[in-house]
Structure 1
Amino acid sequence: MTDTHPGYFSPKGGLPPQTSLMTQRAVFTPAYAFIPKGCFSDIVTSNLPGWRRTRLWLIARPMSGFAETFSQYVMEVAAGGGSDSPDPETGAEHWLFFTEGLATLTIGTTGYEMEAGSCAYIPPRTPWTLLAEGTGPARFHWLRKLYEPAPGLTPPQAFVINERDVPIRWMPDTGDRWGTTRFVDPDDVSHDAHVNIVTFQPGGVIPFEETHVMEHGLYVLEGKAVYKLNRDWVEVEAGDFMWLRAYCPQACYAAGPGRFRYLLYKDVNRHARLRGPGAFGPAR
């Protein structure tokens, strides 16, 4: 296994010097939030109960009137750190995507060696642990969502895979310039969310404004592009994060000299809620 992958960006923290100009691009709107990589400083990190030698940037969480379904952390676990009880919320499902370092992930009683490019899915009510075992920190994205059961379905099975072993599915009629690395079969409706990697070759575009019910988290792993967020074209690059609420129009033009890639979350495969939080009818 290798500690690093040259294509993935991982924040290292730090603090800009006092001589820096405050010319960052961060913005929060009713339709989207944009967190540029320069905002990933030491002073906005958090710690978690039950985690040793670990800090994280908490970049998405459910918020009334905005995103509703998921949380996303950018994790940094120092060598020898980790957790034997990572999450007290037993109803949560988890996706881990590693960008740097080495770790052992144990799901149930099965251990997996995680490296850059490794992706794990952990179903709800499944015990798991993690130990960073490289010479440097293990860095990874951790996405959490309360699993939404559906009649006749059981939760998906856990899996671990590396993205290099998953072929990119290129969109039709794009000349292999826009494609998706799909870690699960999109026709498997036992999954209530997808975490994929989207790839654009230079010049690739989303040639229309996607406007749909799925909310999104997009962390740029590699390259740069201009991204349409609601009414705004925003220049984005590796290390930036975009958080789109449902129905926020989006489009993309990969304008950089190299390929542009991001880790994508979206909720899928369930009825729209008519009762309870975010709906009109009373809970029952």
Structure 2
Amino acid sequence: MARIATGIGLSIYTSCSSSDRDHTHQSPLKDKMNLRSLLLPLLLFLSVIKGKKAEEGMCSVFAPSCDTDSKPLYVKVTNPTLNPSCLQDLPGFTRSVFERDHALITPESQVFSPLPDWINTSGAYLITPAIGAHFVMYLAKMQEGSKSALPPKDVERCIHLKGFIMILTFYFSVFQVDSYAYLPPNTEHSMKCDELATIVIFERRYAQIGINVPELRIGSTDEHPLLETPGEIFELRKLLPTSGPYDFNIHIMDFNPGEYLNVKEVHYNQHGLLLLEGHGIYRLGDKWYPVQAGDVIWMAPFVPQWYCALGKNRSRYLLYKDVNRNPL
């Protein structure tokens, strides 16, 4: 009995008689045929394994088009194709850009550190007043035993869950992926998590007008109907009411491959954007940027902006927009 070990946990057993061994030196052609008969099943097995790995979506820098249908929603936000580990052999490389009126902050340059007053949570501040914005946008990565802190006085907060589950204790609501909550200024609340969870958070100092105040809002993206977008073909959902008490809104915008913004927008509103799915081309000012899931964009007032979705799958992004306030 002879045993051939392949090194991947596969063993092939063959047997031969003593008379066969005695004649081995007399039949080289037969030896080659026997060897081929042994190697052929091994090669077939290895090809199956290779195909299986490809089917499982072993994405890399060189294979960004892997099928992610079987993976969690928004998996590219927390596990982007071009992540820091993929770029370890490219010292100094980043797609991030900071300009006077816009910024592109890509995953390889997002810096996480402990969030002040939060428990067992790391965060990356992506947009702040230091960049020229009047709001803050950051990612929070919670894990077992995590607990949030309150925002400063008179600051409102909107959270959108990207991965796994957490509990909002004020409303005692269990959050699934794609859930969100708007918390008016000075609302007592906390977020707790016993597993990994990634949250995108928007905060700004509330601009009060009149006596009306915004109300607590909790829901999920799919609960909101598609809205009319005259002259456009993308799909739009607004997560917050459009009434006067609310001084900003969060839009969810979907583009099929090849769809694009018809209007080349220039307006007084500011934007904070997180690309949740897909990839495409974003124009900001006079520059053109390839973007993909996990990228964050800041757009200052009056910067020319335009987007086109590319690839085979839809693009979806989450967009902060200030509304309902006179620019003066």
Fold equivalence (TM over 0.5): yes
Q: Which residue pairs with 2:169 in the alignment?
A: 106
Counterpart for residue 72 of structure 1: 137
Counterpart CA distance in 2 for 1:9 and 1:116 is: 13
- Partner SS state of residue 114, structure 2: coil
Contact 1:203–1:255 at 8 Å: present in 2 too?
Answer: yes
2:269 to 187, 210, 214: 214
Cα pair 2:277 2:315 within 8 Å, conserved? yes
Give matches, 1:199-238, under 5 Å.
199-238=254-293
Amino acid in structure 2 at the alignment position of 1:179:
E
Cα gap change, 1:231 to 1:87, in 2 (>3 Å): same
SS at match of 1:75: strand
Q: CA deviation at 1:115?
A: 1.4
**1:39 Cα offset (Å):** 1.8
Q: Name the count of aligned residue pairs.
A: 255
Partners in 2 of 1:28 and 1:240 — Cα distance?
13
User: What residue number does 1:31 align with?
Assistant: 101
1:136-184: per-residue Cα shift (whole Å, max 9, x none)?
Answer: x111101101000002x4221101101122222252354xx40211112
- Match for 2:128 among 61, 71, 74? 61
Q: What is residue 140 of structure 1 aligned with on the other side?
A: 199
- Secondary structure of the 1:257 match is coil
Structure with bigger helix share is 2
Q: Among all aligned residue pairs of Structure 1 and Structure 2, give the percentage whose two residues are the same amino acid.
A: 27
Alignment of 1:236-247 (within 5 A): 236-247=291-302
2:84–2:108 Cα contact (<8 Å) kept: no
Q: C-alpha distance in 2, partners of 1:38/1:230?
A: 23
| Alignment TM-score, normalising by the size of structure 1 | 0.84
- 8 Å CA contact 2:150, 2:188 repeated in 1: no
Corresponding residue SS for 2:222:
helix
- How far apart in 2 are the matches of 1:180 and 1:88? 29
**Aligned runs of 1:1-284 on 2, under 5 Å?**
5-11=72-78, 15=85, 18-40=88-110, 44-63=111-130, 66-83=131-148, 86-107=149-170, 110-134=171-195, 137-151=196-210, 153-174=211-232, 177-186=233-242, 188-273=243-328
Higher relative contact order (CA 8 A, sep 6+): 1
Give yes or no for contact 2:217–2:240 (8 Å, CA) kept in 1: no
Greater strand content: 1
C-alpha separation between the residues in 2 aligned to 1:232 and 1:70?
A: 24
Checking the alignment, whether the CA contact within 8 Å between 1:9 and 1:99 is kept in structure 2 is no
Report the 3-state secondary structure (helix = DSSP H, G, I; strand = E; otherwise coil) of the residue aligned with 2:215. coil
Unaligned regions of 5+ residues in structure 1, if any? 274-284
Flag structure 2 segments of 5+ consecutive residues without an equivalent.
1-70
Alpha-carbon distance, 1:16 to partner? 5.3
Q: Looking at CA atoms only, which structure, 1 or 2, has the larger radius of gyration? A: 2
